[in-house]
Amino acid sequence: SPPAAVSQVTVRDALNQALDEELERDERVFLLGEEVAQYDGAYKISRGLWKKYGDKRVIDTPISEMGFAGIAVGAAMVWLRPVCEFMTFNFSMQAIDQVINSAAKTCYMSAGSIAVPIVFRGPNGASAGVAAQHSQCFAAWYGHCPGLKVVSPWSAEDAKGLLKASIRDDNPVVMLENELLYGVPFEMSEQAQSKEFVIPIGKAKIERQGTHVTLVSHSRSVGHCMEAAAVLSKEGVECEVINLRTIRPMDIETVEASVVKTNHLVTVEGGWPQFGVGAEICARIMEGPAFNYLDAPAVRVTGADVPMPYAKILEDNCIPQVKDIVFAVKKALNI
């Protein structure tokens, strides 16, 4: 049989494709947020959707996160399927009461009688040159809260498959995208471009097979891990790179199986170190069956423990770079 067609698709176009397909598939789906309609989205994720679906399905909101997140949560409680875009997840702090107290806890508190099928999505973590109030990673914040599902895509395939799965899920899902990935093209298979392509929430993906050390990461840091793995491969060190895809529920089984194979673990994330995603992975590995297979302590690579500075050189030093990952791997392997 001929090889399946593979084409280059940016993360932006993958997200746009997913929204378009789900708006078309289910009339209960609608998108709301600042600038999502007539302006085609602040990041052009919703390009063309307002023209195609109109005012009822793609809704521009005032600059009032608490208001429009609350409207969206109420709509979800009566079985519409809102996609609520935050211009950056830093601004979701305005609406954290709605996300946590109204969306996340309602199914449990109603003994399962009220579902809240809503997606909160938008850029998360550091972009470039936007300082502390636009650069925080909220994976650990939202990953902390039962009642939410939290996904964090890297590639175009991740973005499309996870957004479609999130919209179809009957629970509140927080989808943490990365602005710096929007314009990045990835190879996307014919299968991934089909209308029925979804990626199951809660399943990690091994992006690169390796035998010496396990690198676990999510979002943009997966790309850095792939680059570090290529550098280390030239020195005879083979890294297994795991793309978490989902922060909650976390696929610890895939990480455990890899650690059993490689006997070494390095976690990589753009977020802060204290109570971070890497801290959780290390704790879970320590508590589980893979701990006895570790030949050295796990090493965390994280963002610096400071609010993000504005100056470019300081910003670069606050975000994990490829060289930091290479250094951490050599530390873990004692070479």
Among the listed residues 3, 6, 2, 30, the one whose alpha carbon sits nearest the alpha carbon of residue 189:
6
CA distance 92 to 82: 16
| Active-site residue, from 134, 212, 224, 264 | 134
DSSP 293: G
Beta-strand relationship, 58-60 and 213-217: unpaired
- Of the residues 65, 85, 207, 240, only one is catalytic, namely 65
**Radius of gyration (C-alpha) of the chain in whole angstroms:** 20
Instruction: Specify whether 196 is catalytic.
Output: no
Annotated catalytic residue 134: yes
Report which secondary-structure segment, H or E, holds 74. helix 65-77
Residue 260 contacts residue 290 (beta carbons within 8 Å): yes
CB 272 within 8 A of CB 305: yes
Three-state SS at 138: coil
d(CA 104, CA 85): 17
Closest CA to 29 of 68, 82, 107: 82
Cβ proximity of 153 and 184 under 8 Å: no
Look up residue 231 and give its amino acid. V
The residues annotated with a catalytic role in the active site are: 65, 134
